[in-house]
């Protein structure tokens, strides 16, 4: 048996994955929500009826309180008279940028650490995995709060902080899978033929891990969006006037009892987007995991 015959095709065709996703009602719902949010974020300047930073004198009642939803301000106004709908649409940009960028960096770091430790073993494994264990020992939210407090919060700093606390889980998973793959016959044959470590990791180990990476990348975006909203709500995430769903709640929490839409609407947006990514991630896991095939 040749080396190529020992390396089965592990990544299903994109068409097959999409067709399977579209047979799952919950996955379709998740994809639809994600598509709506992405379209709204990309085309925000053409969708929003008002400037998200503009304060309207008519956006407050005579007593100076926020206005409830009406035909002019579809989701009402916030405590300084800004249009909540416009801020929510622009806030989707912030959540998606941080979700994709932070999770992308976390997946990249976690993949490099996990695959390197699993392939080389020895002292490399000991150093990398003990560091991973050390990072896992700290509660992710507490560590993110400490890091966010050290650095001056901004969109990209928040993304970097979230990435620095979210890479450990995927590193652990890929380390375990790489350890098992490194002992397979076709990997040993490549080593015997004189192939370098980088070539083996990129051409023979990484393709077997793509399905796992895709699933973790999808599920990780939900976690990242939620963590960004939490940091922004605590006042150490994305700073005003840049709108994010978390800081919209933070800014308006004092009006929770008198103007509940200021908290419920952005809260529902966070919940819906997180749920959508989780539904798609769960479906992707079922489709790409060989042990699940034929069960649906």
What's the pLDDT tens digit per position in 229-244?
888 888 777 877 788 8
pTM: 0.80
- Report the pLDDT value the prediction gives residue 76, as an integer from 0 to 100: 82
What's the pLDDT tens digit per position in 135-159?
888 787 788 888 777 877 778 888 8
Domains detected in the chain:
25-52+81-292 (1.10.3720.10)
CA–CA dist 253, 226 (Å, integer): 17
- Report the pLDDT value the prediction gives residue 35, as an integer from 0 to 100: 93
Question: Of 74, 196, 205, 94, which is closest to residue 155 (Cα–Cα)?
Answer: 94
Question: Of 102, 129, 75, which is closest to residue 223 (Cα–Cα)?
Answer: 102
- From residue 40, give the alpha-carbon distance in Å to each of 45, 47, 48, 236: 9, 7, 9, 26
Q: Is residue 104 scored above 50 in pLDDT?
A: yes
The DSSP line for 151-181 is SPP-HHHHHHHHHHHHSHHHHHHHHHHHHHH
246 Cβ contact partners less than 8 Å away, ≥ 6 residues apart: 228, 229, 230, 231, 232, 233, 237, 238, 266, 270
Crossing angle between the packed helical segments 84-120 and 168-182, to the nearest 10 degrees: 30
Mean pLDDT value across residues 80-86: 86
Question: Of 98, 100, 101, 106, which is closest to residue 168 (Cα–Cα)?
Answer: 106
User: Which region among 79-93, 140-154, 275-289 has the lowest average model confidence (pLDDT)?
Assistant: 140-154
Q: What is the mean pLDDT of the chain?
A: 82
- Report the pLDDT value the prediction gives residue 120, as an integer from 0 to 100: 87
């Amino acid at each position: 048996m040749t080396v190529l015959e020992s390396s089965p095709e592990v990544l299903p065709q994109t068409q097959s994955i999409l067709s399977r996703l579209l047979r799952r009602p919950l996955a379709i719902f998740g994809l639809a929500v994600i598509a709506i949010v992405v379209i709204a974020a990309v085309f925000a300047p053409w969708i929003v009826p008002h400037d998200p930073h503009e304060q309207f004198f008519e956006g407050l009642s005579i007593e100076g309180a926020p206005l409830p939803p009406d035909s002019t301000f579809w989701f009402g106004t916030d405590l300084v008279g800004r249009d909540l709908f416009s801020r929510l649409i622009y806030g989707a940009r912030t959540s998606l940028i941080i979700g994709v960028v932070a999770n992308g960096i976390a997946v990249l770091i976690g993949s490099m650490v996990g695959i390197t430790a699993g392939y080389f073993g020895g002292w490399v494994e000991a150093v990398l995995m003990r560091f991973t264990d050390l990072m896992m020992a700290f509660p992710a939210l507490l560590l993110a709060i400490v890091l966010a407090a050290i650095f001056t919060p901004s969109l990209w700093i928040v993304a970097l902080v979230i990435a620095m606390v979210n890479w450990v889980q995927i590193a652990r998973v890929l380390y375990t899978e790489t350890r098992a793959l490194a002992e397979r016959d076709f990997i040993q044959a490549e080593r015997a033929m004189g192939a370098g470590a980088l070539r083996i990791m990129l051409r023979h180990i990484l393709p077997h891990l793509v399905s796992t990476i895709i699933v973790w990348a999808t599920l990780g975006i939900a976690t990242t969006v939620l963590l960004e909203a939490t940091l922004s709500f605590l006042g150490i995430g994305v700073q005003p006037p840049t709108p994010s769903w978390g800081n919209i709640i933070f800014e308006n929490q004092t009006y929770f009892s008198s103007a509940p839409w200021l908290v419920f609407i952005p809260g529902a947006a966070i919940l819906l987007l997180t749920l959508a990514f989780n539904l798609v991630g769960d479906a992707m896991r079922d489709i790409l995991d060989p042990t699940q095939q034929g069960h649906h």
